[in-house]
Structure 1
Amino acid sequence: MANSNLYKGSLTTIILKLLNETDSMYGYEITQKVKALTNGELSITEGALYPALHKLESEGLLKVEMVKVDNRLRKYYRLTDAGEKETASKLSELERYIQTMQQLVNPKII
């Protein structure tokens, strides 16, 4: 996507949505899933992802589990109950925003 500013405000919603669809994910897995789902159009950098994950964790929306994988510790993120509620709210908000933008971009003249 040429203008990454268009989706930066949606990073939290993207993370919450992906974690809502799975039991848990680790950071690199999230970046790769986004890239795959968008056919490479969206690419989340570590510099954007990890501060967002830490913020969501500090807000009580995510819990973290450390798992040893191949002799390394890996952080797996999953939604808390509050995170599940916030996901529903964020997705509803995003849907309304998309509908509003559609009206602006492709107005139906009555």
Structure 2
Amino acid sequence: MKSGNQEFIRGTLKTIVLQLLAQQGRMYGYEITQAVEERTAGELTLTFGALYPVLHKLVEEGLLITHTQEVDGRLRKYYQLTPVGSETAIEKLGEFDRFVQLMRLILNPAPTASLGQ
């Protein structure tokens, strides 16, 4: 992850994971990291050290379930949203959209009318 983006992604990682899984159905960890990198043309990269604690927490919270499957002689753990996880993904996306709107209002305020007019 590029240094300037690290703090932003840390606060949105849960939303990113939930939204990717809502779109893709099920994914494994490496696949999630690759999707983020591809969709952002390499501007954002996730480390496994950042991703897996979030995945484990989402499983503990009942938002994700896991399925293990053997692929090329190796076990691969897939993550998938639970019904509550699907609802949470929608909620988190709405919260994020609202946050972005508020940040735009703060950083790019609309011009105000002059007092003498």
TM-score, normalised with respect to structure 1: 0.97
Distance in 2 (CA, whole Å) between partners of 1:62 and 1:41 is 27
Distance in 2 (CA, whole Å) between partners of 1:96 and 1:109 is 21
Residue in structure 2 matched with residue 29 of structure 1 by the alignment: 31
Residue in structure 2 matched with residue 103 of structure 1 by the alignment: 105
1:16-60 Cα offsets, whole Å, 9 max, x none, are 000000121000000000000011111100000000000000000
Runs of 4+ in 1 over 4 A off after TM superposition: none
Matched, 1:61 2:58: no
Equivalent residue in structure 2 for 1:41, among 40, 43, 49: 43
Percent identity of equivalent pairs: 48
SS in 1 for 2:80: strand
SS in 2 for 1:41: coil
Count matched residues. 110
Distance in 1 (CA, whole Å) between partners of 2:7 and 2:56 is 21
Q: What's the CA shift for 1:2? A: 3.5
Stretches of structure 2 lacking an aligned partner (at least 5 in a row) = 113-117
Stretches of structure 1 lacking an aligned partner (at least 5 in a row) = none
Q: What's the CA shift for 1:7? A: 1.7
Larger gyration radius, structure 1 or structure 2: 2
Give 1:72's aligned amino acid: R
TM-score, normalised with respect to structure 2: 0.91
